[in-house]
A = this chain, B = another copy of it.
């Protein structure tokens, strides 16, 4: 069933004879399909087709775009078994995780279909003319978003379904009317191919133009770079490492005509624990933290990587329980050798600075790796802050014991951009938190109370981003229903005849969408 070829519009292509294989991280088994490395010529074909498709799709109704997203959800469901089997072999993720992520993936497709139909994201605004205004007449001015054009999507290794080939970036871009060319993540090329075929079936069934969607596979930085540099590319969505995201951002900024790169990158998501919360049940808190740190074997960008606690007996009880959980945990596979060695190096780097690291049981099988815990004093944190602020991607966390919670806000003010950050506080402690919340709002994209940031609700109010290095553009989110905003840009129409306006701006409001008319919601 898998051919390992590039899926470019209606064609398959294997210009290069160089191939690569996926590896099962649970047992190091090399999977059978050989995937061809994409070439620059293939990138050019995919993006040239996408550019043509963009011109056709610009005129499509929201209804037609919504139906495509819904059809993709259907086709993914029809291929669920094959998709999850392949994905499990490529990622080592257990079935419940795969099922959960699959549900989120098809759910997102349908949510973005609804968002397209609802039309609020178009941000339609109408200011009527006042021909008699003195000293100058006021023109009729209307504004709505138009699709930005071909979007290149780089999926994440850790969400092979929900943030990959048919994931949130693809769903939101298609719902906005933008063609998509995906750069498949080389850790799960088969998952990408199956998902891409499902998307392409839907593209055909819904009679969208060839080039609405393409998939390019490859392991090199060059092939991704060629996609970012292609003249037809109008925007880039990326979820992954700081190094990878920054490299793409730099390429896009250096173009003769720079384009936006919406990169969601690394984060260590500081957690601040207030005394009453810790005192209430230090053991339960240890269990909850451990659950969050080891969710998806720690491979979440919202993983709580730094935990500040007030020192004392409650912290001791919490740490004792956490150590017990680390020691008892069974090793689980990380997604690939690169992540595994990065995790090991990150922990060794802490130890090189004299920071105590407790590791769980070792395993020689595949990429299996155990959780870890580092504990340090505030003094050591201040000494080694730069080292500790390097994200360690995996099931570890660093606990910093502090003589007083008064240090939290000043520490927070110096943090670089973070996707999320939590305050854990109950009772009277809540009255002490305003300064801390203010400090968090200077760096975080999301502030949580009494919960860990892992597990992201796909809703209107979700913001998954933040200032650099959490993301390259703090205005936009890569997860949640506002993610669609990235793929449209506003265009004003002045004194334009009604029949030449986009439907969103026609006087009679044929789409029935919410608009701002003369400054009032209508």
Q: Is A430 an interface residue (CB 8 A)?
A: yes
Which B residues lie within 8 Å of A58 (CB)?
438, 441-442
Q: Cβ of A500: which chain B residues have Cβ within 8 Å of it?
A: 430, 433-434, 437, 449
Selected contact of A139 from candidates B127, B143, B447, B457, CB within 8 Å: B457
> Which B residues are CB-close (under 8 A) to A485?
475
How many whole Å from A63's CB to the nearest CB in chain B? 19
Q: Are A451 and B495 in contact (CB under 8 A)?
A: yes
Give chain B nearest CB distance to A445 CB in angstroms.
Answer: 7
Q: Which residue of chain B is the closest to A496 with respect to CB atoms?
A: B449
Q: Is A148 close to B, CB under 8 A?
A: yes
State A58–B472 Cα separation when bound (angstroms).
22
Number of interface residues of A (CB under 8 A): 80
Considering only residues 470-522 of chain A, those with a C-beta below 8 Å from chain B are 472-475, 477, 482, 485, 489-497, 499-500, 514, 516, 518-519, 521
Q: Which residues of B contact A331 (CB under 8 A)?
A: none
List B contacts of A142 (CB < 8 A): 461
- CB of A516 to closest CB in B, whole Å: 6
B148 touches A446 (CB 8 A): no
Give A494 to B138 CA distance when docked, in angstroms: 43
Indicate if A417 sits at the interface (CB-CB under 8 A): yes
For A254, list chain B residues within 8 Å (CB): 253
Residue of B55, B250, B444, B457 near A491 (CB, 8 A) is B444
Q: Given contacts A58-B438, A446-B491, A492-B446, is CB(A451)–CB(B519) below 8 Å?
A: no
Q: Is the CB of A491 within 8 A of B463?
A: yes
Instruction: Judge if A107 is at the interface, Cβ distance under 8 Å.
Output: no
Most chain B CB within a 10 A radius of its CB, from A249, A453, A469, A496: A496
CB-based contact A447/B417 at 8 Å: no
Copies of this chain, whole number: 2
How far, in whole Å, are A55 and B412 apart by their CA atoms in the complex?
A: 13
Please state if A448 and B127 are interface contacts (CB–CB under 8 Å).
no
Interface residue A2 (Cβ < 8 Å from any Cβ of B): no
Q: In the complex, A444→B495 CA distance in Å?
A: 15
- Residues of B near A518 (CB, < 8 A) are 460
A141 sits at the interface (CB 8 A): yes
For the complex, is A328 an interface residue (Cβ under 8 Å from B)? no
- CB-based contact A495/B136 at 8 Å: no
Interface presence of A291 (CB below 8 A): no
A146 within 8 A of B: yes
Contact of A416 with B467 in the complex, beta carbons under 8 Å: no
Contact with B along A323-344 (1 / 0, CB 8 A): 0000000000000000000000
Which residues of the other chain, B, contact A457 by a CB distance below 8 angstroms? 127, 138-139, 141, 494
Q: Which residue of B lies closest to A491 (CB)?
A: B441
Give the residue among A146, A249, A493, A516 with the most B Cβ atoms within 10 A: A493
Using A253-B253, A496-B449 as known contacts, say yes or no to A490 and B463 having CB atoms under 8 A apart: yes
Is A14's CB within 8 Å of the partner chain B? no
State whether the Cβ of A119 lies closer than 8 Å to any Cβ in chain B: no
The reply to whether B253 and A143 form a contact with Cβ atoms under 8 Å apart is no
Let me know if B417 and A461 touch, CB within 8 A.
Answer: no
A147 to chain B, nearest CB (A): 9
A461-B492 CB under 8 A given contacts A148-B474, A438-B58? yes
A197 to chain B: which residues have CB within 8 Å? none
Shortest CB-to-CB span from A105 to chain B, Å, is 16
Q: Check B461 against A127 for contact (C-beta < 8 Å).
A: yes
A59 within 8 A of B: yes
Tell me if A363 counts as interface (CB < 8 A to partner B).
Answer: no
A257 interface residue (CB < 8 Å to B): yes
**Interfacial residues of chain A within 106-138, with CB under 8 A of chain B in the complex:** 118, 120, 125-127, 136, 138
Which chain B positions have C-beta within 8 A of A447? Answer: 491-494, 496
Q: Which of B118, B139, B477, B499 contacts A490 (CB 8 A)?
A: B477
Which among A59, A139, A469 has the greatest number of chain B C-beta atoms within 10 A? A139
Partner of A125, one of B434, B460, B516: B460
A446 to B505, CA, bound (A): 14
Residues of B with C-beta under 8 A to A489: 467, 474-475
Beta-carbon nearest neighbor of A494 in chain B? B448
**A467 contact set on B, CB distance < 8 A:** 234, 257, 489
Q: Is the CB of A296 closer than 8 A to any CB of chain B? A: no
A280 contacts B by Cβ under 8 Å: no
What are 13 contact pairs spanning A and B, CB under 8 A?
A120-B516, A125-B482, A126-B461, A136-B455, A138-B459, A143-B460, A143-B463, A253-B258, A441-B491, A457-B494, A460-B516, A460-B519, A474-B489
4 nearest interchain CB pairs? A253-B253, A463-B492, A143-B461, A446-B492
Known: A257-B416, A448-B494, A460-B518. 7 other contacts (CB 8 A): A258-B468, A444-B491, A445-B491, A447-B491, A450-B495, A460-B516, A463-B492
